Amino acid sequence: MRLILIQPEMFENDEECFFEIQNLINSIPSIEENYDLVCLPERWIKMNPKLEKNIQEERGSHYQFIKKMAKKYHINILSGGIWENRENSDKNYVTCYYFNKDGQEIGRQDKIHLYRYEKFFFESGNTLNLFNLNGNLFSILICFDIVFETPHLAVKNGAEFLISPTLIREEGLENWGVYLRAKSLENRVPIAACNPYGILKDRTFPGNSKIISFVKGFYSPSKLKVLEAPLNKHAILFDNIDLKFPNKLRKKRFKEAINLEKIKLKKYN
């Protein structure tokens, strides 16, 4: 799986952010021939201090821009997080769209686990999707969705790699790295996590996007291969991820799992 993560700088207005994304994509040599999937972070547009003013109409201007990029550069692309209000609904969602090389919408993944303030503005998604790319299945886990049981649910149902558009600030960077490695090892699955660079609401977001995969030949213990984008600058991170080897690791690991229903719990006072 030939993958690219776009780590953009967030600017003051939409047009500057659009220009930043297009410039980064345009800088990738032979992108159509050399790569299978491009991913953006959860947030790549600056926030208005009044959060409700950041909500787009369903398939609004942010959606249309990414759709245009997919068609123009003939690439499969994930939109990162888009804040939108659904037509004929009073509910808002954080959602990531998946476009194919013709700019056609394949589907979208709503954020399931909302983080802190998000619960006041958004509705949780209730469906975890599996998407097909070149015969391989993947799931989109938006930021906080990488926590809890969501990664295991995706992998248990056939996902061969996980993509996580994120919005991780400086203070959470170390914990985020631990989570990604742990979930990758726990499920024997490659994970790509894309984080932006810039300042939102007086908080610093340092980038440091990651692609985590497995070194071939290391069965027990498994050995992670971790690629990281630089801190505090816009960047592009890419890798050609081997899916066959972790598929073997995962099959073997899941056979070792014990059925939890057979385990009795006993509490001592």
269 found inside a domain: no
47 found inside a domain: yes
- Domain span at residue 56 reads 2-258
Burial class for 135, CB neighbours closer than 10 Å (0-12, 13-18, 19+): exposed
Q: Look-up: residue for tokens 């952010």? A: 17
Burial class for 253, CB neighbours closer than 10 Å (0-12, 13-18, 19+): middle
264 found inside a domain: no
pLDDT tens for 109-152 read: 999 999 988 888 999 999 999 999 999 999 999 999 999 899 99
pLDDT tens for 158-171 read: 999 999 999 999 99
d(CA 129, CA 248): 23
140 found inside a domain: yes
Give the tokens for residue 82: 């888009």
235 found inside a domain: yes
What is the pTM for the complete model shown?
0.95
121 found inside a domain: yes
65 found inside a domain: yes
Residue 6, pLDDT score = 98
For residue 141, the one-letter residue type is L
Domain total for the chain? 1
263 found inside a domain: no
pLDDT band at 9 (very low <50, low <70, confident <90, very high): very high
Burial class for 260, CB neighbours closer than 10 Å (0-12, 13-18, 19+): exposed
% residues pLDDT > 90 (the chain): 85
Residue 171, pLDDT score = 97
pLDDT at 204 over 90: yes
d(CA 254, CA 184): 13
Give the tokens for residue 212: 């985590």
Instruction: Say which CATH number the domain at 208 has.
Output: 3.60.110.10
